[in-house]
Amino acid sequence: MGKKSREKKILHRQTTEARKFTWGKFLKVMSRGLLLVLVLTVLLSIGQAYGLKFLKDMWVQLGIVLVAYFALQPWLMREFRPPRQKRK
């Protein structure tokens, strides 16, 4: 077996292993998501307490949460991402 085919097999095995569902990975993702929502809730509440009227609108709050979620998606879902390849 050549070196390239061995590396491909190892990469394929690591990729399939990283994407497998486990309860540990699920709990980590859920805890990160809960942490994100809690931090955003505190920040939105502080903003409202300082008198920022636009933060009282539900659609603005939803937009802020969605933007933060999509911006932090790599951090939230890093458990299911395969390991990076070493560059030569």
Does 67 fall in a domain?
A: yes
Does 6 fall in a domain?
A: no
Does 51 fall in a domain?
A: yes
State the pLDDT at residue 34. 94
- pTM of the predicted structure, to 2 decimals: 0.71
> In terms of Cα–Cα distance, which of 35, 15, 32 is closest to 24?
32
**Which three-class secondary structure state does DSSP give residue 66?**
helix
Does 5 fall in a domain?
A: no
Provide the Cα torsion 21, 27, 33, 39; round to 10°. Answer: -160
State the pLDDT at residue 88. 58
Does 10 fall in a domain?
A: no
Does 17 fall in a domain?
A: no
Total structural domains in the chain? Answer: 1
Does 47 fall in a domain?
A: yes
**Which three-class secondary structure state does DSSP give residue 27?**
helix
**Would you write out the chain's pLDDT as a tens digit for each of its 88 residues?**
677 787 777 777 877 777 788 898 889 989 999 999 999 999 999 999 999 999 999 999 999 999 999 999 998 888 877 777 776 5
